[in-house]
Structure 1
Amino acid sequence: MIKATLNDKAAVISTLVKSFDTNKSVNYIVKQDSKRVERIRKLMAYSFDLCYAFGDVFLSEDRKACVLTLLPDRKKSTFKTTLMDINLVLSVIGVSSAKKAMDRDARIKKGYPSEPIVYLWFIGVDPAYQGKGIGGTLLDDVVKHSTGLGRPVYLETSMVENLPWYEKHGFNVYQTLDFSHGDLYCLKNA
């Protein structure tokens, strides 16, 4: 696992846009119009910037997969992050859906423990390289890194077909939330 630098940002965003193009949860948040793919790109750029500042961004050794992790207890509200949040609402979510996105976020966070966690925001593998074990190796490395920090890993997926993969890597569903796009499965490593 390689710690990403700012020079890796474009490649990370590209991998995540390709990986999450049809993701139900991402498309629930992103305004659905002719600019949808560009909006997903902006969401991934926002996520990269927050995780780079208040967590970690990692790449697989071959740079075909990436993961964005956030340390929620270290995230600070600053003038810059407030401007980033406003830009996210205006350019990605849409003002009319901002409440929906905030409510979703609040429901997810209710399931978090009081102790510090590692929040795995996004993990993606370039679609041309999926199914080769790259993502699994990266996920295992993130769990090892998080264990070294003394923090459990929490994440969500809306893709029921991904549950066996996460379970294979030591994650368990601790709650299922119902949203208009379908169920959102909240997982943590055991």
Structure 2
Amino acid sequence: MIEAKSEDKGLIIDILTESFKDNQSVNYLIPADGRRLNRIRALMDYSYETCKLFGKVYLSDDRKGCALVSFPERKKTTLKSLWLEVTLILNGIGFGNISKAINREKAISKNYPSTPIYYLWFIGVQPDSQNSGVGKRLMDEIVAESERLKRPIYLETSTVKNIPWYKKFGLNVYNQLDFGYTLFLIKND
């Protein structure tokens, strides 16, 4: 796993957009209009930039997978973070979904401990490289890094078939939230 450089941003956004274009949790916030894929790209751009500011962005060694990690206690309101949020609203979620986004974020973050966590915001693999071990190698390194940092991993998924995969890494569902779809809150034990 390598830390992404600024020139990797396009590749990372491509991987995440393709990996999450049919994801219920992503599409909960993205209007289903003719700009849907561009809106998902805007969400991934926002997530990438936020993790560059307040976390880490990783690529797998073969550059076919990526992970966005946030350290929530580091997040601060800055001119750049405000600009990122405005850009997300304008190009991604739209004005109509602002309250949905805020309410969902509040509901999720109520489940986090007050101590520092290793928040795995997104992990994705190019669709043509899925099921080839890319994600496993990336996740093994993420688990090792979280252990080095002495931070528990927290994440969410709306994809039921991903739950057994996360269990292989010692992560389990600890809560579920209903947003018209089930969002599974996952952490390591």
Tell me the percent identity: 49
Structure 1 match to 2:46: 46
The letter of the residue matching 2:123 is: I
CA offset at residue 86 of structure 1?
1.4
1:138 aligns with 2:138: yes
CA offset at residue 62 of structure 1?
0.5
Structure 2 match to 1:16: 16
CA RMSD of aligned residues (A): 0.8
Query: Distance between the aligned counterparts of 1:189 and 1:104, measured in 2?
Result: 22
List structure 1 runs of 4+ shifted beyond 3 angstroms: none
Please give the secondary structure, in 1, of the residue aligned with 2:31: coil
Structure 1 match to 2:164: 164
CA offset at residue 54 of structure 1?
0.8
1:71-82 alignment to 2 at 5 Å?
71-82=71-82
Structure 1 match to 2:126: 126
Please give the secondary structure, in 2, of the residue aligned with 1:112: coil
Structure 2 match to 1:99: 99
CA offset at residue 169 of structure 1?
1.3
Question: What TM-score comes out, normalization by structure 1 length?
Answer: 0.97
Gaps of 5+ in 1: none
Structure 1 match to 2:186: 187
Query: Distance between the aligned counterparts of 2:36 and 2:150, measured in 1?
Result: 38
Query: Distance between the aligned counterparts of 1:113 and 1:8, measured in 2?
Result: 32
The letter of the residue matching 1:75 is: K
Query: Distance between the aligned counterparts of 1:157 and 1:78, measured in 2?
Result: 29
The letter of the residue matching 1:67 is: A
Please give the secondary structure, in 1, of the residue aligned with 2:161: helix
The letter of the residue matching 2:104 is: R
